[in-house]
């Protein structure tokens, strides 16, 4: 159940939160879902994950054909070597082929989306059979299953009327073709897990998009492990402090929105509060970081430590940050040196920052080497 922003006024909640909700509702469905769950007393299923259910490996869902499985309509596959040979070194894949899992068989007739973007129909191109209800029923059930509930991201096959995330071909009622639809399975996945990082395989070939996806997968894993298990306000505050620099490298505006969320004293349950936090947190990380933003964050760290280190390394760090901002070197060079001095000085509020202490696997995937 989703509420429009207007209907939020009917919810019995503290004024500070209502004000917050009115301002930030446009950031996505997550906040509204959290509020609606609080409102009608239903338990939030998304956060109902028990400690022993969480997989410490990074589970990522993938459209099966991208892993080389022969599940396509013609018995072929769309094996993507980057996914299996690089991402596969770090992620544990959960393969899903919705068309095969609904019993459509291999080989099978090709299908396409017809109708409107909001309510597309999945129709066989030869028989005209309408697979919509069957696929929607399956997808709604499948996305709730345990293996998918524990994923930290999902890589979807582009252009597919079932798996495609964006710009899927859609035949309108007049026969006019547009490319604005989303596959039915992708739609169910997004509805169930609005904060889950999703990407199409073709977007992995854009360096910035890939970098952002990897960052969000690891961040989502941290949220699930550190926040969503038996959430409490103090846990959320500690988590937020550790993520502060990373958030600033993506969106200062949304980091401030999270500050406000934490400052608003209200009577929400910790579970709903954590759900709201996660929605905005993941939304903030979906905003791209840039060299200018990263340089600003690193300069702020340098400013904190410069009085405690000799002037020569201070100058060196300032030069590296400037070189990085100007595109002459990669992010890892200034970041590694900065991390070195922060560890040496043991400044409590800096040593635990996720921005300076990325998981080795994340560093390897993002920069091709360890920091």
Residue ranges in contact with ligand SF4 by CB under 6 A: 63-65, 71-72, 97-100, 157, 160, 162-163
Query: CB-wise, 157 or 283, nearer to ligand SF4?
Result: 157
Query: CB-wise, 62 or 217, nearer to ligand SF4?
Result: 62
**Spatial CB neighbours of 21, under 8 Å, sequence gap ≥ 6:** 5, 8, 13, 31, 35
Q: Is the CB of residue 184 less than 8 Å from the CB of residue 102? A: no
User: CA-to-CA distance for 363 and 352, rounded, in angstroms?
Assistant: 16
Q: How far is the CB of 181 from ligand SF4 (least distance, A)?
A: 14
Query: CB-wise, 70 or 361, nearer to ligand SF4?
Result: 70
Query: CB-wise, 63 or 215, nearer to ligand SF4?
Result: 63
Query: Nearest CA to 297 among 324, 260, 259?
Result: 324
Residues in the chain: 371
**Spatial CB neighbours of 139, under 8 Å, sequence gap ≥ 6:** 98, 184, 185, 187, 188, 189
Give the bridge partners for 63, in sequence order: 96
Q: How far is the CB of 80 from ligand SF4 (least distance, A)?
A: 11
Radius of gyration of the chain (CA): 22
Q: How far is the CB of 339 from ligand SF4 (least distance, A)?
A: 40
How far is C-alpha 47 from the geometric centre of its chain's CA atoms?
15
Strand stretches in 177-232, DSSP E: 177-181, 198-200
Q: How far is the CB of 99 from ligand SF4 (least distance, A)?
A: 4
Q: How far is the CB of 164 from ligand SF4 (least distance, A)?
A: 7
Query: CB-wise, 164 or 231, nearer to ligand SF4?
Result: 164
Query: CB-wise, 154 or 277, nearer to ligand SF4?
Result: 154
Q: How far is the CB of 196 from ligand SF4 (least distance, A)?
A: 17
Q: How far is the CB of 108 from ligand SF4 (least distance, A)?
A: 9
Q: How far is the CB of 138 from ligand SF4 (least distance, A)?
A: 11
Query: CB-wise, 63 or 251, nearer to ligand SF4?
Result: 63
What's the number of CA atoms in the CB half-sphere (13 Å) around residue 124?
A: 12
Query: CB-wise, 153 or 279, nearer to ligand SF4?
Result: 153
Query: Nearest CA to 229 among 50, 37, 55, 45?
Result: 50
Q: Got the DSSP string for 270-311?
A: HHHHHHHHHHHHHHHHHSPP-HHHHHHHHHHHHHHHGGGS-H
Distances (CA, A) of 33 to 21, 22, 65, 239, 284: 11, 14, 32, 22, 18
Query: CB-wise, 99 or 248, nearer to ligand SF4?
Result: 99
Q: How far is the CB of 330 from ligand SF4 (least distance, A)?
A: 34
């Amino acid at each position: 159940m989703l509420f429009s922003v207007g209907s939020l006024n009917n919810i019995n909640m503290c004024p500070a939160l209502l004000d917050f909700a009115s301002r930030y509702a446009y950031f996505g469905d997550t906040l509204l879902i959290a509020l609606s769950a609080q409102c009608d007393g239903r338990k939030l299923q998304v956060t109902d994950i028990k400690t022993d259910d969480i997989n410490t490996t990074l589970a990522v869902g993938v459209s099966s054909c991208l892993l080389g499985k022969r599940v396509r309509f013609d018995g072929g596959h769309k094996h993507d070597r980057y996914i299996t040979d690089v991402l596969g070194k770090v992620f544990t894949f959960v393969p899903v082929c919705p068309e095969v899992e609904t019993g459509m068989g291999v080989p099978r007739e090709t299908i396409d989306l017809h109708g409107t973007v909001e309510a597309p129909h999945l129709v066989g191109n030869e028989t005209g059979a309408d697979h919509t209800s069957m696929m929607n029923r399956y997808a709604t059930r499948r996305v709730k299953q345990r293996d998918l509930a524990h994923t930290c991201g999902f890589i979807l096959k582009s252009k597919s009327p079932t798996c495609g995330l964006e710009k899927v071909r859609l035949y309108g009622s007049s026969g006019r073709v547009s490319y604005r639809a989303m596959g039915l399975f992708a739609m169910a996945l997004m509805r169930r897990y609005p904060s889950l990082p999703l990407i199409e395989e073709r977007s992995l070939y854009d360096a910035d998009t890939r970098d952002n996806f990897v960052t969000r997968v690891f961040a989502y894993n941290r949220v699930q492990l550190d926040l969503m298990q038996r959430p409490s306000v103090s846990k959320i505050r500690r988590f937020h402090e550790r993520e502060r620099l990373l958030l600033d490298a993506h969106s200062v505006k949304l980091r401030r929105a999270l500050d406000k969320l934490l400052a608003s004293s209200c009577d929400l349950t910790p579970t709903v509060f954590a759900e709201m936090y996660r929605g905005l947190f993941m939304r903030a990380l979906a905003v791209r970081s840039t060299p200018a933003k990263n340089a600003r964050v690193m300069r702020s760290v340098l400013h904190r430590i410069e009085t405690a280190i000799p002037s020569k390394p201070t100058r060196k760090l300032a030069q590296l940050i400037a070189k990085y901002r100007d595109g002459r070197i990669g992010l890892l060079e200034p970041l590694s040196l900065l991390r070195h001095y922060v560890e040496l000085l043991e400044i409590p509020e800096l040593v635990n920052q996720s921005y300076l202490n990325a998981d080795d696997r994340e560093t390897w995937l993002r920069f091709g080497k360890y920091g």
